A and B are shown apart, each in its own frame.
Chain A
Amino acid sequence: MTEDTGTPTPGLEVGPTSEFSLFFRVLDGQGPSLRAALLELQGTPGYRPGDYGMAIKTIHEARFVLFDDDTRLAFITSFDGPWDAYMEDFFTSGPTLALFDVIFGHVEGYDGLPDLAAVRAFVLGAEQTAAAYARNYPGTVKEIRKAQRVNAAFQQVLDHPQAAEALGHPAMQPLLDEAAD
């Protein structure tokens, strides 16, 4: 039965995005195997350099950090929305669970799947809310992706031989202002 582990602290927010950091102790002697597992993770789709397509579409970035001579592990990310509202979703939908099982098998307190309540308590127990958090751009991942698509399209327009003419209409002025560099 799912125990109510109390309301998790939701993490600091900047605009629509909230920070999410977990800290774990690595099981005795598992430092090397965890490092190997993370190296392997780095080669999987989404984590492969240049992929930009993580399984969870609503996180901006994610990192796993081994520290204190590989005796501790941090997982640090930024999520669009209040992550506490999505706790159950993370642990019932595929990508997170699969990832967790591979990585967190190497840390203390993880008793393995499929006990959802235990996994949830384990994660909440590891969460530490940031003392300070800032972002350098506003907006959700979805908006950033849209902005990138729009900019790519704009650059394509600018590359057209008649771009200046096409942007000559008064309605185009805001775009023309962005066209000069």
Chain B
Amino acid sequence: MTRVDGTPDVALELEDIQAGALYERPSPYVGTYLLLRIVDRTDGRELVRRLHRIANPAGGADSAGATSLTVAFTYRGLEALGVPQESLDTFAPEFRQGMAARAEILGDTGESAPDRWEEPLGTDAVHVAIAVLSSDEEQLAAVAEKARAAQTELPGIELIWKQDCYQLATGRTSFGFKDGIGQPAVEGSGRPATDARERPLRAGEIILGYPDETGELPPMPSPDVLGRNGTYIVFRKLHTRVAAYRSYLRARAATRAEEDLLGAKMVGRWQSGAPLAVSPDADDPELGGDPRRNNDFGFGDDPRGFKCPVGAHARRANPRDALDDEGSVDVRLHRMIRRGTSYGPMLPDGVTEDDGVDRGIVFVFAGAHLRRQFEFVKTQWLNDGIFIGAPLESDPLVGPHHEPGSFTIPQRPIRRKLQDLPPFVTTRGGEYCFAPSLSALRWLAELDT
């Protein structure tokens, strides 16, 4: 295979790359996130040795399949394992600082500020992050048990946080929308693109050690064995204020259909996942559920946003062809793999009173560039509106709205403007992690510093 520009397709070392970064989780699924603290270095390395045995390579037989376990480390975690300082210094600066230190930049202030985060998120105690996802409870229990076994009899390892998650068969998340649809394809991963307009990303956008969209190798931690085939992971526990969201819409809509329309305008897709760009006037569940069609669209024919508002969440998060003639932005440099999951029970249909229950998503990002992918999208596209010529507007659904926000819905004859948008999402905590390759896991286990 060769690329359009004549350079040969890269062969990704799938046997060495953790499956979680590259491949879809099973769907529907149940899962668990575990955070561990390494108190004792020797036990830490033993833990890594055991995790290495149960982590799934992307090239494994069941990569598409039933259960996957992904292992990642924070900067403090690598430090606790005894990774030499000269190697630690080669990691991305944002990773070295950690997410809590980036809070001001990311808009995690006020109710979302790190001093309000759930313990122990954002502290130096978070060292190892493990995600286990499975298509059914039984298998999950089996793998989670293996993960737990990896940790038992290791007194130097503490389980400090656990978060269960799930995905309903409908794929719907707490606000009612199907999530996880828009994903870029990655060269060499063997998975075809779902958006025919988007050429698969060069592998180095997601996996370290391969050329990225700039034609160069992403800055990679050294030694090579540690950095190569690894990827950066961002996880954020995001609490969703579903009752507030529903009552906000209810107060501004005359009918249930109008509520659905306003919600769809905020997201850029109908609840079923059907994109507004393709089905602007009504939901089309068949379209929403059709993976061959539900991501195959652009915004080029709708520059003013009559079908999908330019400020809608999914259009902000991936403007596709909408910014092609700006001359200052290359959308391909700001893509990401998302592996988010739901937590907490759904708020029963129709309820608009807050029941006090914690529910939301564990947002998970995978990519080779924390700053120009995750942080860029979060700060320039979601938290800000300069790029769409609306500096005072942020993302209607996930924007911080420290001051009540507004959201413009282009429509003829007169645009609609939603006012007094409160925050619908608050950050409960999170961390920047590094998911190393399988050989790097072995290297970490065998450190003798």
B-contacting residues of A (Cβ < 8 Å)? Answer: 1-4, 7, 15-16, 54-59, 79-82, 85-86, 88-96, 114, 116-117, 139-143, 146
Closest A-chain residue to B218, C-beta based?
A2
Identify 20 residue pairs between A and B in the complex whose beta-carbon atoms are under 8 Å apart, listed by A's number. A1-B216, A2-B219, A15-B391, A56-B326, A56-B328, A57-B327, A57-B328, A80-B387, A85-B379, A88-B214, A88-B333, A89-B333, A90-B328, A92-B213, A92-B214, A93-B328, A95-B327, A96-B327, A96-B328, A142-B388
| Contact between A88 and B372, CB atoms less than 8 A apart | yes
Q: B389 contacts which chain A residues (CB < 8 A)?
A: 140-143, 146
Task: A57 to B213: give the CA distance in the assembly, Å.
Answer: 22
User: Cβ of B215 and Cβ of A81 under 8 Å apart?
Assistant: no
When C-beta atoms are compared, the residue in chain B nearest to A80 turns out to be B386
Contact of A2 among B216, B326, B328, B390 (CB under 8 A): B216
Report Cα–Cα, A6/B327, bound state, in Å: 25
Q: Is the CB of B327 within 8 A of A116?
A: no
The answer to whether B329 touches A86, judged by C-beta atoms less than 8 angstroms apart, is: yes
Interchain residue pairs A-B with the least CB separation, the first 10: A142-B389, A56-B327, A16-B391, A16-B386, A55-B327, A95-B327, A1-B217, A57-B326, A81-B386, A89-B330
Q: Which residues of B come within 8 Å of A, CB atoms?
A: 92-93, 213-220, 325-330, 333, 372, 376, 379-380, 384, 386-391
CB pair A116 B93 closer than 8 Å: no
Q: A80 to chain B: which residues have CB within 8 Å?
A: 386-387
Smallest CB gap from A79: residue in B: B328
Q: How far is the CA of A47 from the CA of B154 in the complex (A)?
A: 68
Contact in complex: B386, A92 (CB < 8 Å)? no
* Nearest A-chain residue to B369, judged by Cβ: A88
CA distance A108 to B311 in the complex (A): 43
Whole-angstrom distance between the Cβ of B32 and the nearest chain A Cβ? 35
- What is the minimal beta-carbon distance from A15 to any residue of chain B, in angstroms? 7
B386 near A7 with CB under 8 A, answer no
Chain B residue at smallest Cβ distance from A54 = B327
Q: Is the CB of B216 within 8 A of A89?
A: no
Instruction: Give min CB distance, B94 to chain A, whole Å.
Output: 10
Which chain A positions have C-beta within 8 A of B214? 2, 88, 91-92, 116
Measured in the bound complex, the distance between the Cα atoms of B328 and A86 in whole Å is: 7
Which residues from chain A contact B220 at a C-beta distance below 8 Å?
1
CA A56 to CA B376, docked complex, whole Å: 19
Q: Which residues of B contact A96 (CB under 8 A)?
A: 327-328
- Smallest CB gap from B334: residue in A: A89
Distance of A85 Cα from B215 Cα, bound (Å):
19
Other than the given A55-B327, A140-B386, 8 more pairs (CB < 8 A) read A2-B218, A4-B93, A57-B327, A59-B328, A88-B330, A88-B372, A93-B328, A93-B330
Shortest beta-carbon distance from A59 to chain B in Å = 8
How many angstroms from the CA of A141 to the CA of B390 in the assembled complex?
11
Inter-chain contacts of A1 with B (CB < 8 A): 216-217, 219-220
Q: Which residues of B contact A85 (CB under 8 A)?
A: 372, 376, 379-380
Q: How far is the CA of A79 from the CA of B387 in the complex (A)?
A: 11
